[in-house]
Structure 1
Amino acid sequence: MSHAIAIKTHRRLLLTGAAGGLGTALRPRLKHNCEVLRLSDLADVGAAQAGEEVVQADLANADQVDAMVAGCDAIVHLGGISVEAPFAAILQANIVGAYHLYEAARQHGVKRVVFASSNHVTGFYKQSETIHADHPARPDGFYGLSKAFGEDLARLYFDRHGIETACVRIGSSFPEPKDRRMLATWLSYDDLHRLITACLSTPVLGHSIVFGMSDNAVTWWDNSRARHIGFVPKDSSDVFRDAVYARTSAPDLSDPAAIYQGGAFVKAGPF
C-alpha cells in the first residue's frame, strides 16, 4: 500500500460509501491522511477500529447527512449508487444525496470535498478521441447524468460559498484491468489514494475536474487542466496488457460498447 505518500492534512476526515468496493480499499489507506477517519454508509461498515468513527446515514435523509458531516474538516464522497439504475433510485442517492451533502458542508464550514465523479459523465465520446476537463459533458446514462449534476452542484457551492471540490472522474479502479477497455481506464487502488491525497493537500484546489487513471500508455483523457493538483500516478495497466489480450477477443467495432468511452454503460438498462 502507498502509505508513504499519505499526508496527514486533516483532523477528522469523512469517507462516505465506506462499505463499497473503493471505500473498503481506501479505508486503511485514508487513516494515514487524518487523525480520525469517520466512515459512513447506508450499509454496515463493521465496527469502528482504532482511529475510526462510524456514522450510518442515508444520503436521501437531510438530518442524517447533517449529523454525518458535523465536526468533519474535509469529505471524500464516494457514497451513492455507482452503477446504472432506474432514475428514481439515482435521484435519491446521487442527486438529492449530493445536495444534502453540500448543504451540510456549507452549514458546518467544511471547505474541501473530494467528489467521486465518473468517466461516465463523458461516456458518449468515442474511444478514438482524447478529451480534457473543458469538454462538455456527454453522460451515457442516468448514473453519468447524476455525476454531471454533482459536478455542477460542486461548482455552484464553490462559486457561492467557497467550498473547494475535486471532481474525480474515476475510470475503472480494480486490483487489475479486467478487459481491453480497462487498459485505458484503469486506476490502481494506490494511485486512487495518491490522487485523493493530492486533492486533500494541494494548497489551492478551487473547483477542479481530474480524470482518475493510472499512468497507462493508452488513454482517452488529458489531465493537463489539473496539474495544479499535483497528482502523479505510479502504476500502469501496461504490465497487464499481454495477459488481457491473451484472455480477450478483439473488439467488435460495430458494437457501441467498443465505439464509446463508456463501454457497456452506453447500452445498459433501464431505458
Structure 2
Amino acid sequence: MSGGPVLITGAAGGVGTVLRGGLPEKGWALRSLDVVELQETRPGEEHRVADAADLAAMVDAATGASAVVQLAGHRGEATWPVIAHSHIETTRTALEAARRAGVQRVVLASSNHATGFTPRPAGGLLREADAPHRPDTYYGVAKVTMEALGSLYVDRYGMDVVCLRIGSAFPEPTTVRQLATWLSPGDTVRLVDAALRAPSPGYAVVWGISANTRAWWDLSAARALGYDPQDDAEPYAEALIEAYGEPDPDDPVHARVGGEYTLPDLDADEVEARMGEEGR
C-alpha cells in the first residue's frame, strides 16, 4: 500500500470521529471528508468539505490516498430517498473514485442489518457465510447494496474491498442486546486498522464486534485479517441485566440478528410519518 493518507468519508460522524482519534496512533495519515466542517482537526490531518456522492469531489479527494474508508451515510433508518442518496450513491461514488484515482483498498462500513431478519442459531456462533442477505430496513438494503458494489469492484477491477458488518459501535453498551453486539471505540480502530493492513484480502465480509463473552457472531474471519479485539461488554452486564432483565430468546430483539430493526415501528409508513413530523 502506498504511503498516502487514508481518506475517511463521513468523518464527522461517530465512527469517523473515533477513527480520526485512533488511526494516527497506528501510523496512518488522514484526509477527512464530510458535508460539514469538522469542529477540530488533528495535527497533520487534511480536511475536505464535500458531499461524498459528488464524484468529481471524491476523485479529487481520493487522488494520492493509500485507501478509502467509506462511512458516509444517514445514521439508522430513514425514507428511501435519504437512504438511497446518503448510503447507496455515496458507496458507488467512493468505489468509483477510488478506481479512477488508482486506490486499491476500500473499507466499507456495512452492518448487521444487511442480514437483520436472519435468526440467531440455536447454539454456537453465526458465521458470515451462514448469514445471507436478509435486510431488515431500507438501511439494511443499502448495506446489502454496499456489499454487492464492493463485490463488483473486486471482481471487475481487481480491487481489495473489506466490508465490516458493524454491530453496536458506541462508547459503551446501553442495552442487554448490546452485550452481544457491542463494538468498542478501541476495537473499532483495531478492526479498521486490520482491514487496511491485511495483505491482498480481495473481497471480504466480516462481523464487527468486540470480544464479547455473550457474542452471537463468529469473529474468525475478522481475526484472519489480523483483527485482535481487546474489549468485552461483560463488565456492563450486571447493571444492564438488573435494569432490563435477562434476554428472552423468543423476543425478536434477541432472536434475530437485526434486533429492534426488525420490529414494526420501522415499517416504511411509520418512518415516513415520523420523519415528516420531525421536519415540521
**Normalization by structure 1: what TM-score?**
0.90
- Which whole-Å CA distance do the structure 2 matches of 1:35 and 1:184 have between them? 30
Secondary structure, in 3 states, of the residue corresponding to 1:221? coil
**Of 179, 185, 190, which residue of structure 2 is paired with 1:183?**
179
5+ unaligned residues in a row in structure 2: which ranges?
270-280
Calculate percent identity across the aligned residue pairs. Answer: 39
Alpha-carbon RMSD? 1.9
Which segment drifts farther, 206-215 or 218-227?
A: 218-227
Cα offset, 1:59, TM superposition = 2.2
Contact 2:253/2:259 (<8 A) preserved = yes
Q: Tell me, yes or no, if structure 1 residue 270 matches structure 2 residue 265.
A: no
Q: What amino acid maps onto 2:189 in structure 1?
A: H
1:135-161 Cα offsets, whole Å, 9 max, x none, are 311111111111111111111101111
Cα offset, 1:35, TM superposition = 5.4
Residue in structure 2 matched with residue 50 of structure 1 by the alignment: 43
Classify 1:11/1:70 alpha carbon distance in 2 versus 1 (closer, same or farther; 3 Å).
Answer: closer
5+ unaligned residues in a row in structure 1: which ranges?
1-7
Contact 2:18/2:188 (<8 A) preserved = no
Cα offset, 1:44, TM superposition = 2.3
Contact 2:9/2:52 (<8 A) preserved = no
- Which whole-Å CA distance do the structure 1 matches of 2:157 and 2:37 have between them? 33
- Which whole-Å CA distance do the structure 2 matches of 1:10 and 1:186 have between them? 32
How many pairs does the alignment contain?
264
Residue in structure 2 matched with residue 259 of structure 1 by the alignment: 255
Residue in structure 2 matched with residue 197 of structure 1 by the alignment: 193
Q: Tell me, yes or no, if structure 1 residue 23 matches structure 2 residue 16.
A: yes
**Of 51, 62, 71, which residue of structure 1 is paired with 2:55?**
62
Contact 1:11/1:34 (<8 A) preserved = no
Residue in structure 2 matched with residue 5 of structure 1 by the alignment: none
Residue in structure 2 matched with residue 162 of structure 1 by the alignment: 158
Contact 2:33/2:52 (<8 A) preserved = no
Contact 1:165/1:208 (<8 A) preserved = yes
Cα offset, 1:264, TM superposition = 1.3
Contact 2:164/2:208 (<8 A) preserved = yes
Residue in structure 2 matched with residue 138 of structure 1 by the alignment: 134
Residue in structure 2 matched with residue 246 of structure 1 by the alignment: 242
Q: Tell me, yes or no, if structure 1 residue 41 matches structure 2 residue 34.
A: yes
Q: What amino acid maps onto 2:204 in structure 1?
A: S
Secondary structure, in 3 states, of the residue corresponding to 2:163? strand
Q: Tell me, yes or no, if structure 1 residue 12 matches structure 2 residue 2.
A: no
Superposed, 1:81-230 pairs within 5 Å as 81-129=74-122, 130-135=125-130, 136-230=132-226
Cα offset, 1:71, TM superposition = 1.9
Cα offset, 1:257, TM superposition = 2.7
Secondary structure, in 3 states, of the residue corresponding to 2:168? coil
1:51-104 Cα offsets, whole Å, 9 max, x none, are 111111212322222222222111111111220111111111111111111111
Classify 1:243/1:20 alpha carbon distance in 2 versus 1 (closer, same or farther; 3 Å).
Answer: same
- Which whole-Å CA distance do the structure 2 matches of 1:230 and 1:112 have between them? 16
- Which whole-Å CA distance do the structure 1 matches of 2:221 and 2:169 have between them? 22
Secondary structure, in 3 states, of the residue corresponding to 2:214? coil
**Normalization by structure 2: what TM-score?**
0.88
